[in-house]
């Protein structure tokens, strides 16, 4: 990248003849500009005052030094005023003069109008825009997140046959990413490569291209950009970029891409996490390969990640849409068992939960009863799935049976378990056990959810049980404000 200020500073030394009176001052100005911004401005202003005191007229070099000093100090308005003074004094500004100010304005979100005003001044002074001028204009539009303006400047360059710099494309692609415009971003890359610009030296541009193609579900383009960015140029994508690529890979059934991204995350030093593997499982399901989706659960455990309901919920939802799919999933579990392999409890829970989501209490209980035959020991998620199905199906009796089986097991209930146990017991004629569950829950440091209190309070209100008021007080203790409707139940 050519630095506008450094070029202008060099011109301070080149333009003035060393024997001319002004050249001595311009040489001092060049030295002053090497200092820190505010110190430089103070010294530059002192030198220019001395020039005026000696009744010496400024030249282009002198004015450019002032422009640099003002813009470095963040005083672009004074720089613009100085530029206008320069024109009033019949000193024709150079393209450097304009570029100095265009560059300083480029980082402000509201600078587009000021930049455009400078472009009009350039036209009036018959100063042509250079590639650097356009770079500053595109950067300014990007700072303002004005994609339409970015496109306007890019179109202008094409019309005038001005080749964009690599940074111009970089800024444009970033603006495209911020506005989810994958097509324009890809066009920028194509043009940059046609100009044989070293795109591999701009990692942000390449990462933005991976991101924008992923969030727009452009699968082929995303895979191509990943190949270019990660495999060709050896860049390391951040976690957020990887997660976007994983999401699309899972959605489109691209198991190879999902597997590669998980390896890349590990290579980048990220410890394996549960949500890394979920898209891989979903990708296998999209491909109709449920058996390998189950196998991912084994990979997770081998990688030190404990699968939970979160890992399998999306797949359970898909299976629940068709009971034939649920039955197929169950038969796969049987097949895995017959092959002499262990059936992962998370895979078993996935099928149980799918039955519950399908509101098929018969299949839910029947599948749950097959745990021992499949060599599966039910865990907390298993009982939660069955209890949830019982509650939704209003199967009070079966719910109580499962609760009793849970108590006899070595499974430790979690907050979700207790909430379901309370909800089911509230539907019984004898609901005294609810208070036992509630106290157990609190004694284990769990905060009962608002919904649990609402269910309990409504049950007490129906029974005209005075403990209704105690429950409302306890709700407020936990920061839950009882609704007017709930209070009106008594």
pLDDT (0 to 100) of residue 71: 94
Answer whether 82's CB lies under 8 Å from 70's CB. Answer: yes
Kindly tell me if the per-residue pLDDT of 79 is higher than 90: yes
Where on the phi/psi map is residue 304: left (φ > 0), alpha (ψ -120 to 50), or beta?
left
Identify which of 184, 259, 170 has the alpha carbon closest to the alpha carbon of residue 216: 184
The pLDDT confidence band at residue 3, using thresholds 50, 70 and 90, is low
pLDDT in tens, 212-238: 999 999 999 999 999 999 999 999 999
Q: What mean pLDDT do residues 296-304 have? A: 94
Distance CA 48, CA 25 (A): 8
Q: Are 281 and 258 in contact (CB under 8 A)?
A: no
Q: Is 428 helix (H, G, I), strand (E, B) or coil?
A: coil
Distance CA 147, CA 168 (A): 13
Buried b (16+ CB within 10 A) or exposed e, 193-216: eeeebebeebeebbbbbbbbbbbb
- Tell me the mean pLDDT in the region 31-57: 90
- Using an 8 Å Cβ cutoff, are 362 and 316 in contact? no
d(CA 77, CA 116): 14
pTM of the model: 0.82
pLDDT, position 13 = 45
**Rounded CA separation 368/387 (Å):** 11
State residue 473's pLDDT score: 96
- Measured distance CA(455)–CA(476) in Å, rounded: 15
Q: What does the angle CA 102 – CA 105 – CA 106 come to, to the nearest 5 degrees?
A: 85
Q: Which residue has the higher pLDDT, 35 or 446?
A: 446
SS3 180: coil
By the 8 A CB rule, do 144 and 112 touch? yes
DSSP conformation letters of 58-115: --HHHHHHHHHHHHHTT-HHHHHHHHHHHHHTT-PPPHHHHHHHHHHHTT-TT-HHHH
**Is the separation of the CB atoms in 379 and 414 below 8 Å?**
no
Are the beta carbons of 390 and 398 closer than 8 angstroms?
A: yes
Place of tokens 């005209």: 464
| Residue 327 Rama label (left phi>0; alpha psi -120 to 50; beta) | alpha
């Amino acid at each position: 990248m050519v630095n506008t200020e450094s070029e202008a500073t060099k011109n301070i030394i080149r333009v003035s003849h060393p024997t001319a009176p002004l050249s001595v001052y311009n040489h001092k100005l060049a030295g002053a500009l090497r200092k820190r911004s505010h110190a430089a401005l103070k010294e530059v202003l002192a030198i220019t005052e001395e020039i005026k005191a000696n009744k010496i007229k400024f030249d282009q070099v002198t004015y450019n030094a002032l422009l640099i000093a003002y813009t470095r100090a963040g005083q672009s308005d004074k720089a613009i005023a100085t530029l206008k003074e320069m024109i009033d004094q019949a000193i024709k500004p150079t393209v450097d003069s304009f570029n100095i100010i265009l560059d300083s304005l480029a980082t402000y979100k509201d600078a587009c109008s000021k930049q455009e005003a400078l472009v009009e001044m350039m036209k009036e002074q018959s100063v042509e825009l250079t590639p650097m001028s356009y770079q500053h204009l595109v950067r300014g539009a990007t700072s303002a997140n004005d994609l339409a303006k970015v496109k306007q400047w890019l179109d202008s360059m094409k019309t005038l046959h001005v080749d964009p710099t690599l940074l111009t494309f970089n800024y444009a692609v970033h603006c495209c990413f911020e506005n989810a415009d994958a097509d324009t971003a890809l066009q920028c890359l194509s043009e940059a490569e046609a100009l044989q610009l070293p795109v591999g030296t701009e990692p942000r541009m390449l990462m933005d291209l991976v991101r924008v193609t992923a969030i727009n579900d452009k699968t082929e383009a995303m895979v191509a950009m990943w190949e270019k960015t990660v495999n060709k140029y050896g860049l390391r994508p951040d976690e957020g970029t990887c997660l976007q690529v994983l999401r699309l890979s899972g959605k489109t059934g691209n198991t190879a891409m999902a597997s590669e991204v998980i390896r890349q995350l590990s290579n980048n030093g990220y410890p394996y996490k549960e949500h890394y593997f979920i898209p891989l499982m979903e990708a296998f399901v999209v491909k109709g390969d449920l058996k390998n989706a189950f196998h991912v659960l084994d990979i997770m455990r081998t990688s030190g990640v404990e699968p939970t309901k979160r890992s399998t919920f999306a797949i359970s939802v898909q299976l629940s849409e068709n009971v034939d799919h649920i039955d197929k999933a169950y038969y796969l579990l049987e097949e895995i068992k017959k092959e002499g392999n262990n059936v992962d409890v998370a895979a078993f829970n996935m099928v149980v939960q799918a039955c519950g989501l399908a509101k098929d209490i018969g299949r839910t209980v029947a599948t749950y009863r097959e745990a021992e035959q499949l060599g599966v020991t039910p865990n907390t998620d298993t009982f939660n799935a069955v209890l949830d199905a019982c509650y939704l199906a209003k199967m009070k009796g079966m719910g109580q049976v499962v609760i009793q089986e849970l108590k006899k097991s070595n499974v430790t209930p979690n907050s979700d378990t207790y909430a379901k146990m309370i909800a089911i017991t509230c539907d019984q004629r004898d609901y005294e056990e609810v208070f036992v569950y509630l106290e157990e829950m609190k004694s284990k440091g769990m905060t009962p959810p608002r919904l649990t209190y609402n269910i309990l309070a409504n049950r007490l209100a129906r029974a005209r049980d005075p403990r209704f008021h105690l429950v409302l007080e306890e709700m407020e203790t936990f920061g839950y404000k009882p609704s007017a409707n709930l209070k009106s139940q008594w």
